[in-house]
Amino acid sequence: MTAAPHRLDIAVIPGDGIGPEVTREAVKVLRAVTGDDVDLALTDYDLGADHWLATGQTLPDATLEQLRTHDAILFGAVGAAPGDTRIPSGLIERELLLRLRFSLDHYVNLRPSRLYSGVPSPLADPGVIDFVVVREGTEGPYTGNGGTLRGGTPHEVATEVSLNTAHGVERVVRDAFARAAARRGRLTLVHKHNVLVYAGRLWKRIVEAVAAEFPDVVHDYLHVDAAMIFLVTDPSRFDVIVTDNLFGDIVTDLAAAVTGGIGLAASANLNMDGSAPSMFEPVHGSAPDIAGRQLADPTASILSAALLLRHVGLDDPAARIERSVAEDIASRTGSRSTAAIGDAIAAAVS
Amino acid sequence: MTAAPHRLDIAVIPGDGIGPEVTREAVKVLRAVTGDDVDLALTDYDLGADHWLATGQTLPDATLEQLRTHDAILFGAVGAAPGDTRIPSGLIERELLLRLRFSLDHYVNLRPSRLYSGVPSPLADPGVIDFVVVREGTEGPYTGNGGTLRGGTPHEVATEVSLNTAHGVERVVRDAFARAAARRGRLTLVHKHNVLVYAGRLWKRIVEAVAAEFPDVVHDYLHVDAAMIFLVTDPSRFDVIVTDNLFGDIVTDLAAAVTGGIGLAASANLNMDGSAPSMFEPVHGSAPDIAGRQLADPTASILSAALLLRHVGLDDPAARIERSVAEDIASRTGSRSTAAIGDAIAAAVS
Ligand SMILES: CC(C)[C@H](C(=O)O)[C@@H](O)C(=O)O
Ligand SMILES: CC(C)[C@H](C(=O)O)[C@@H](O)C(=O)O
């Protein structure tokens, strides 16, 4: 969305588990598709659960400042094995992944959902699925607000506070309307305003206000529970979904599942005002159970690299990756190694 | 779960839209199945959106006190048509339905999910689906806590506070373990403790503590986003899900969808210590678009009546309804009116 740069300076955070494997293939495809047209500079950052075990550090301030200097960040996956008791549960997710999203003001968490031809959906009659979820990325129940009173006792009270601001909601809603206008002109707000009245009222007010700027976009509203039903009974009805951070987390995993699994789901954490680099990551996690065995599908990571290219204005190579991925998926028969899939797509985009 | 009463005194709240139609069939089946064995007393309460339009009242204190005197409440559905601007959005849901759940301390919101043979699932390969969701009903983000600062301005801040107590979590978790012990011995906690750390820590601590009392129940944990994926890719893995009020709302609509729709999904709002009557309601809403035309499926309401009977200790008639419903569903071919379905099931249980 900015002019095509001659130099593209990317920070790469491979992370844990299958993160390094899939990221390697995304980098392979990035190199292949940009060829001599772009001067691609890649800098690896060693962060994640393994790094924490070795150093006790999640994301030092100095590293965060260094990351800010890049044009974009390609992120693999982080997180320890569920059974690993050496690492406080959720620590890496919060202090690395969420800290990056919040510090770099990634207010548009963009998650496209598309059912590629040739991909089996768990739905009997999926129809055409092609929508994007615009998930707010810096507010809601994700702010870490809340606390514990009388912790560990029979009188414990634990609170979680969802914080929502007009500023935060408006910028993401406007972004979602703009995307809807450039697509099929249909936007659905997903919330639960009959119960979460304060946040719900704010979201509804802002959607109505911004809708006036986009007369060609039709918008409707679904409670999050009703959205669940439509996602499995009529996913074709969606074009752009805009929703808060927590509902977006839930909706996008279901969306990934109905379109054939999180092995294919890409995402972008976008800072749309350019004050910090945006970050591109597969929706899937680090999957320690299959790590290091070349079993992971690198497609989500490769598609995330395409989102990266599109974000920095390199629409042609982005489209080339997406086309090649679609063709590769359509022709999949047996299982191939992580590297074999990357090789095939890299060859196709060159 | 109490001894079978000779007299059963039920408050009936038919409500709005299709509520009265489906409730009429549930009452028909209740009468048929109890026959001369039970002295069935039914008292209708006129409450809901239409009642509010006529009187300006949602749930007067005196009515709430009267409701407390019954053995149980059979609830239809409430809520105005989405486009009806005369009724403040969400008002009836909050001031009637949620007020009942909270005032009558319905801390176990029980929602069984079962894929009946003969029912088409939207899933291509649903397998055997038979689980129950034990949703906390009196806490979490449903407490109405929160507020608005600088409302309606560009500087608006809206908060929603999720309140969770050891008392509230423990009683519902213990109930869920007991149900798992009486079923297939498997319990899954669904939460999002990597992000909602304070509430998540409380839920995890209590699940671990109560698990010690149920050595025969195996328990695991899923983040709510991962639970979405399993609900469409492997719903057979679930036996009992225990979760908070909001996650429970979301999970149960998806569960209803994968088991053939909310036309079949029953629910019970249980006060397990008997300090107030429990309430039984279909998961579906008032569906004003099809109201009054005998198009609604009364099965969810009829199955809710079965849950009512089981709760007051009338296990045999409850099982008779459930068996007859299963047989009726298995033999469904064309479409029948609301009353015709009720008639058929009433005849089968007599
Ligand atoms: C790992 C976790 C903190 C994260 C989230 O909840 O946002 C993940 O589920 C996602 O969707 O990117
Ligand atoms: C109507 C609404 C307040 C209610 C809820 O959110 O609990 C409904 O969706 C349900 O699941 O019973």
- For the stretch A238-257, pLDDT in tens is 999 999 999 999 999 999 99
As a dihedral over the C-alpha atoms of residue A48, residue A50, residue A52, residue A56, rounded to 10 degrees, the angle is -160
Tokens of A288: 């320690």
**CB count in 10 Å sphere of residue A105:** 19
Instruction: Kindly give the distance from the C-alpha atom of residue B225 to the centroid of ligand 1, in angstroms, as a whole number.
Output: 8
Segment B242-278, tens digit of pLDDT: 999 999 999 999 999 999 988 899 999 999 999 999 9
Q: Which CATH architecture has domain A1-106+274-350?
A: 3-Layer(aba) Sandwich (3.40)
For residue B150, give every residue at least 6 positions away whose Cβ sits within 8 Å of its Cβ, in sequence order, or none.
A166, B156, B157
Residue pair B217/B177 in contact by the 8 Å Cβ criterion: yes
Residue pair A25/A301 in contact by the 8 Å Cβ criterion: yes
Q: What is the mean pLDDT of residues B13-26?
A: 97
Residues of chain B with CATH 3.40.718.10: 1-107+265-350, 121-259
B1-107+265-350 has which fold? Isopropylmalate Dehydrogenase (3.40.718)
B89: confidence class by pLDDT, cuts 50, 70, 90: confident
Residue pair A208/A240 in contact by the 8 Å Cβ criterion: no
CA A129 to chain centre: 18
Q: What is the pLDDT of residue B84?
A: 87
pTM for the whole structure? 0.96
Q: How many CB pairs under 8 A join A and B?
A: 208
Indicate whether A1 pLDDT > 60: no
User: What percentage of chain A reaches a pLDDT higher than 70?
Assistant: 99
CA B205 to chain centre: 26
Query: How many angstroms separate the CA atoms of A329 and A324, rounded?
Result: 8
Minimal CA separation from B154 to chain A, in Å: 5
Q: What is the pLDDT of residue B3?
A: 52
Please list every residue in chain A whose beta carbon sits closer than 8 Å to the beta carbon of residue B205.
152
Residue pair B220/B253 in contact by the 8 Å Cβ criterion: no
Tokens of B173: 């978790």
**CB count in 10 Å sphere of residue A307:** 23
Q: What are phi and psi of A94, to 5 degrees?
A: -75, -50
Question: Among the listed ranges A77-91, A293-307, A317-331, B238-252, which one has the minimum average pLDDT value?
Answer: A77-91
For ligand 2, say whether the CB of A197 is within 6 Å of any of its atoms: no
Residue pair B302/B349 in contact by the 8 Å Cβ criterion: no
B113: confidence class by pLDDT, cuts 50, 70, 90: very high
Instruction: Kindly give the distance from the C-alpha atom of residue B229 to the centroid of ligand 1, in angstroms, as a whole number.
Output: 14
Q: What is the pLDDT of residue A33?
A: 97
User: What percentage of chain B reaches a pLDDT higher than 90?
Assistant: 93
Segment B165-203, tens digit of pLDDT: 999 999 999 999 999 999 999 999 999 999 999 999 999
* R_g of chain A, CA atoms, integer Å: 20
Compute the half-sphere exposure of residue B137: CA atoms within 13 Å on the CB side of its CA: 30
CA A168 to chain centre: 18
Segment A71-109, tens digit of pLDDT: 999 999 998 887 788 999 899 999 999 999 999 999 999
Query: How many angstroms separate the CA atoms of A304 and A282, rounded?
Result: 6
* A198 has a chain B CB within 8 A of its CB: yes
Query: How many angstroms separate the CA atoms of A147 and B302, rounded?
Result: 43
Q: What is the pLDDT of residue A124?
A: 97
Query: How many angstroms separate the CA atoms of B303 and A145, rounded?
Result: 41
Identify the helix (H) or strand (E) that includes residue B75: strand B72-77
As a CATH number, domain B121-259 is: 3.40.718.10
* Three-class secondary structure of residue A145 per DSSP: coil
B221 - beta bridge partners?
B189
Tokens of A153: 């006792």
A12 - beta bridge partners?
A44, A74
Indicate whether A6 pLDDT > 80: no
Q: What is the pLDDT of residue B334?
A: 87
* B165 has a chain A CB within 8 A of its CB: yes
Query: How many angstroms separate the CA atoms of A233 and B259, rounded?
Result: 11
Tokens of A134: 């615009």
B111 - beta bridge partners?
B133
Minimal CA separation from B290 to chain A, in Å: 17
The answer to whether residue A105 is catalytic is: no
Q: Which of B98, B100, B109 to mutate to test ligand 2, by most ligand atoms within 8 A of the CB atom?
A: B98
Indicate whether B1 pLDDT > 50: no
Residues of chain A with CATH 3.40.718.10: 1-106+274-350, 121-259
Amino acid identity of residue A263, one-letter, is G
Identify the helix (H) or strand (E) that includes residue A82: none
